Amino acid sequence: MSESSPTKAVEPANDGSQRSVKRALPALLAIFLLGTLMIQAFNLVFQNVGDSLGMSANASLISTLPGIVLGVVCMLYGTLCDYISPRKMTIFGVGALIIGSLLGFLGSSNFWAVLIARMIQTAGGQVAGSVFLVMAMKYLSDKERALYLGIFNAVYYASSAVGVFAGGLITSIDWRYLFLVPLISIFLIPPVLKHTPDTGIKGERIDVFGIALFALIAGIVAVYFSFPATWMLGVLAALILIFAVYVWKGANPFLSRGFVTNGAYMAVLLALFVFYFFNFACVPIYNVIGEQIYGISLSQVSLCLTIVYIVATLVGCLSGAILNAMGRVPMLILSALLMIAGAAGSALLLTSGFWVLTALASVFIAGITMSYTPLYDSFPATLPVDQDGRGIGIGDLMMNTSASIGMAVYSGLMANKGFGSHALTGVKTGIEAQASNMFLLMAAAALLALIIVAVFHRAMSSKAPQE
């Protein structure tokens, strides 16, 4: 059961009613779903898009760069939720989502217009997700928070299922029509305006310099792992040093000295980084296996992956109840074990049939899904309530940056012929060996996550600090 202090829940400042907040949450979830399904849809079809526009060599940018943007804006939005009205932020996000969708559709004959549109779409769609999480942390009780975290997690994977299915379906017609799907968010603006709190911290200065510097550091880290260059390491080291001095000596930095030295919070961040490292790689590896090993169509692959994400959605729906019954640490242990079983099983049974791999993928994704709720439930338990937005924002940054780095590692290894020159599981060299070795690497990452939970279990079961 969650051990967060009951003082973490506060009443909304605009009308004193949690009921209004709860009415806003479904609209926020729907907007978040529309933005997120675009990520998974284009993760599936980015190569098709690049091929059709004569930019095959640069096709991965359609997946990689929006992932980098996502990691950075998650931190920005979560942090700004401590200062700016959630209603204003959400309207800004919906506007960006709509603009990105129109730009992508109208500019679909130009690769760079498509890429920019995807980045704008991604940035806009995430606002609703960040606002949802911060509102749930600040305005709901412990049990309600666990429930809504589980629902949020389920919606993420439901959007992934819809995105994968839509990607496979619409690509058989024309991938350009994918850009029109998020325009549905226009109809969700009225409930957002009516029920989302219009509150902010009056009179408190936003630390623009500190937030911008931290966002720049996060962006360079993500860019380096996608497009490595030695000079970036020097720039990164200099920026980190400047930021450290600023936190220690600054008058009122957005991340205080106490925040960055909070061992319990940092332990949760480390676990989050490892649990979600190969999250983005789950989709493209099955696309490769289906096409190059089993010779099945993209639409068939998308159908199987849709089943996988439906399983994840069901697990997400139940994760709040599981958390309240098991507690954070036992749930995280179970999550890691499921991930190990799914990845290692896929490596060993790679040639046993695509439906066998689909079942094992369901086990793996169930493990990732199950880890989300206890990890995010740990954030408000390790931070004072006035730092919830920053805590969630940096947690989102860690999760998405980790997944983007994992995607870059995956892409680099799968493009390396030497990675498939030897198979530890005895399959043929080449693409089979590459896929099998990649699954073993995923299993190793899950094992590392299990070790981290075992080492830092006390921090992850801590109680909320008093302000």
In tens, the pLDDT along 366-422 reads 999 999 999 988 887 888 777 777 888 888 888 877 887 888 788 888 888 888 888
Integer Cα distance of 40 and 156 in angstroms:
10
The pLDDT value given to residue 370: 93
Query: Do residue 234 and residue 128 come from a single domain?
Result: no
Q: In this structure, is residue 1 part of a structural domain?
A: no
Check which CATH number belongs to the domain holding 287 and give it.
Answer: 1.20.1250.20
Provide Rg for the chain, Cα atoms. 21
- Degrees, nearest 5: CA angle 370-376-379: 150
Q: In this structure, is residue 3 part of a structural domain?
A: no
Query: Do residue 355 and residue 396 come from a single domain?
Result: yes
Query: Do residue 356 and residue 377 come from a single domain?
Result: yes
Question: pLDDT (tens digit, 9 = 90+) per residue, 409-432?
Answer: 888 888 888 888 887 887 888 888
Query: Do residue 368 and residue 434 come from a single domain?
Result: yes
Query: Do residue 174 and residue 304 come from a single domain?
Result: yes
Amino acid symbol at 37: L
Whether the predicted pLDDT of 163 surpasses 70: no
Which region among 67-76, 85-94, 238-247 has the lowest average model confidence (pLDDT)? 67-76
Whether the predicted pLDDT of 161 surpasses 90: no
Q: Counting beta carbons within 10 angstroms of the beta carbon of residue 253, is it exposed (0 to 12), middle (13 to 18) or buried (19 or more)?
A: buried
Output the CA–CA distances (angstroms, integers) from residue 137 to 58, 362, 377, 379, 391, in the order listed. Answer: 40, 29, 9, 9, 10
Q: In this structure, is residue 7 part of a structural domain?
A: no
DSSP helix/strand/coil, 294: coil
In the predicted model, what is the mean pLDDT of residues 457-462? 78
Report residue 5's pLDDT band, with 50, 70 and 90 as the boundaries.
very low
Q: Counting beta carbons within 10 angstroms of the beta carbon of residue 116, is it exposed (0 to 12), middle (13 to 18) or buried (19 or more)?
A: middle
Q: In this structure, is residue 201 part of a structural domain?
A: no
Whether the predicted pLDDT of 57 surpasses 50: yes
Higher pLDDT, 249 or 447: 447
In the predicted model, what is the mean pLDDT of residues 101-119? 91
Query: Domain limits at 371?
Result: 17-195+254-460
Q: Quote the pTM value.
A: 0.77
Q: In this structure, is residue 65 part of a structural domain?
A: yes
Q: For the chain, what is the domain count?
A: 2
Sign of CA dihedral 315, 319, 322, 326: positive
DSSP per-residue string spanning 107-154: TTTSHHHHHHHHHHHHHHHHHHHHHHHHHHHHHS-HHHHHHHHHHHHH
In the predicted model, what is the mean pLDDT of residues 41-52? 79
Q: In this structure, is residue 12 part of a structural domain?
A: no
Q: In this structure, is residue 320 part of a structural domain?
A: yes
Amino acid symbol at 343: A
Query: Do residue 166 and residue 151 come from a single domain?
Result: yes
Higher pLDDT, 433 or 250: 433
In the predicted model, what is the mean pLDDT of residues 271-298? 87
**DSSP letter at 83?**
T
In the predicted model, what is the mean pLDDT of residues 428-445? 91
Higher pLDDT, 359 or 305: 359
Tokens representing residue 180 in the block:
């029109």
- Most confident among 13-22, 83-92, 108-117, 221-230 (mean pLDDT): 108-117
Which region among 96-100, 300-304, 374-378 has the lowest average model confidence (pLDDT)? 300-304
Query: Do residue 110 and residue 149 come from a single domain?
Result: yes
Query: Do residue 433 and residue 320 come from a single domain?
Result: yes
Query: Do residue 61 and residue 132 come from a single domain?
Result: yes
Integer Cα distance of 47 and 42 in angstroms:
9
Tokens representing residue 15 in the block:
């009308």
Report residue 1's pLDDT band, with 50, 70 and 90 as the boundaries.
very low
Query: Do residue 329 and residue 423 come from a single domain?
Result: yes
Whether the predicted pLDDT of 90 surpasses 80: yes
Whether the predicted pLDDT of 2 surpasses 70: no
Query: Do residue 165 and residue 104 come from a single domain?
Result: yes
Higher pLDDT, 385 or 290: 290
The pLDDT value given to residue 210: 83
Output the CA–CA distances (angstroms, integers) from residue 203 to 84, 200, 440, in the order listed. Answer: 11, 9, 53
The pLDDT value given to residue 126: 86
Single residue among 216, 238, 253 that ends a domain in this structure: 253
Q: List % helix, strand, coil for the chain (3-state, nearest 5).
A: 80, 0, 20
Q: In this structure, is residue 465 part of a structural domain?
A: no
What percent of the chain stands above pLDDT 90? 23
The pLDDT value given to residue 449: 95
Query: Mean pLDDT of all residues in the chain?
Result: 82
What percent of the chain stands above pLDDT 70? 90
Query: Do residue 211 and residue 178 come from a single domain?
Result: no
